Amino acid sequence: MREFALIDRLKTRLASRRTDTRLGIGDDAALIAPAAGEELAITTDTLIAGRHFPSDTPAFDIGYKAIAVNLSDLAAMGADPAWVTLALAAPELDESWCDAFLDGACAAMGDDPIDIIGGDTTRGDLSITVTAIGRLPVGSALRRSGAQPGDVIAVTGTLGDAAHGLDCWDERAQANADETFCIERLARPRWRNGAALRALAHAAIDISDGLVADLGHVLAASGVGARVNVDALPVSPALAGCVDTAQMRACQLGGGDDYELCITLAPGDLERAQAALDCPLTVIGEVEAEAGLRLVDAAGRPFAWAGAAGWDHFPDA
């Protein structure tokens, strides 16, 4: 398939859902018209085959994940997702592969009012770069630097599933139901409605590289520390059903790719935050003035964990 054919394909199947998209795919650039009083949150992520997803990942799941991880970053800022651009490098532009890829991208957007307003295709090793743009009222973004001593720390959903899904990936043809659940969490991560947490959360991040690493970014940016109860970390019945406790803790603390939100907020706002979300929100610890992350068990005893601190993209740097 020639490049213009893919762009045409995108254009015909993706009718605009937004009145503030002035011009979508088809000209030299798209035109968007944010309202007065709004700020735009902009994020870009590149996914490379063999590095960010297994090389034998189905096209649908690649399209899904490329969109979902970027919408997750917007969610972590508290932004309403509005626009996306999509750059695809692939060894060949096979028509059915491209259709499945776009099916996955559209599935990740769901019914939300999001427009794909631009795209580019080029021949090369398989990689996908998505830029996502979200809207939010001026000054309302959830930043990593807002955590305050006395805040509770809470996470959406469950932790560790995707990490175990990666462990099971090569044997997925023989996976049982619990393992399949974890594999699907890796392949098609849910992005959360972070916009619902505006004016409630003090700080937020999405967990892409593992709880310890990502919460560590929040603590460092905020100049605070934290105590986290490892026995309080939310676990899916599926993960609990297919690994022992030590593996489970390793997945929950160090495993990436869950794309759940980790937020800090005043204890008095917890109930409202839980009500604002369509998923569980679980308290796992509290922010403290003393720097550093202290892992403890339910009895308050220190929990020793020697795992790597998340995924380091440049381990030798």
Per the annotation, where are the binding residues for substrate?
A: 52, 257, 311
Q: Smaller CB distance to Mg ion: residue 73 or 167?
A: 73
Collapsing DSSP to helix, strand or coil, 183 comes out as: helix
Edge-to-edge strand list for the sheet holding 115-123:
38-48, 127-137, 80-90, 115-123
Distance CA 299, CA 63 (A): 44
Binding span for Mg ion by CB under 5 A among 69-77, 105-113, 156-164, 245-253 = 69-77
Q: Smaller CB distance to Mg ion: residue 73 or 115?
A: 73
In the block, tokens 């339910």 appear at 298
Sign, CA dihedral 259-238-309-263, equals positive
Collapsing DSSP to helix, strand or coil, 46 comes out as: strand
Specify binding-site residues for ATP: 119-120, 144, 208
Q: Smaller CB distance to Mg ion: residue 115 or 206?
A: 206
Residue from 206, 258, 260, 269 that binds Mg ion (CB under 5 A)?
A: 206
Applying CB under 5 A, does 257 fall inside the site for Mg ion?
no
Q: Smaller CB distance to Mg ion: residue 179 or 206?
A: 206
In the block, tokens 């929950």 appear at 252
Q: Which of residues 87-146 bind Mg ion (CB under 5 A)?
A: none
Applying CB under 5 A, does 269 fall inside the site for Mg ion?
no
Q: Smaller CB distance to Mg ion: residue 73 or 260?
A: 73
Binding span for Mg ion by CB under 5 A among 105-113, 198-206, 222-230, 280-288 = 198-206
Q: Smaller CB distance to Mg ion: residue 73 or 178?
A: 73
Q: What is the CA radius of gyration of the chain?
A: 20
- The gap between the terminal CA atoms of the chain, to the nearest Å, is 40
Specify binding-site residues for Mg(2+): 28, 43-45, 73, 120, 206, 209
Q: 217 with 264: CB under 8 angstroms?
A: no
CB of 163 to Mg ion, least distance (A): 16
Applying CB under 5 A, does 260 fall inside the site for Mg ion?
no
Applying CB under 5 A, does 73 fall inside the site for Mg ion?
yes
Size of the site for Mg ion (CB under 5 A): 2
CB of 176 to Mg ion, least distance (A): 31
Q: Smaller CB distance to Mg ion: residue 45 or 61?
A: 45
Applying CB under 5 A, does 80 fall inside the site for Mg ion?
no
Applying CB under 5 A, does 258 fall inside the site for Mg ion?
no
CB of 311 to Mg ion, least distance (A): 12
CB of 76 to Mg ion, least distance (A): 5
CB of 141 to Mg ion, least distance (A): 13
Binding span for Mg ion by CB under 5 A among 32-40, 58-66, 70-78, 259-267 = 70-78
CB of 73 to Mg ion, least distance (A): 4
Binding site residues, Mg ion, CB under 5 A: 73, 206
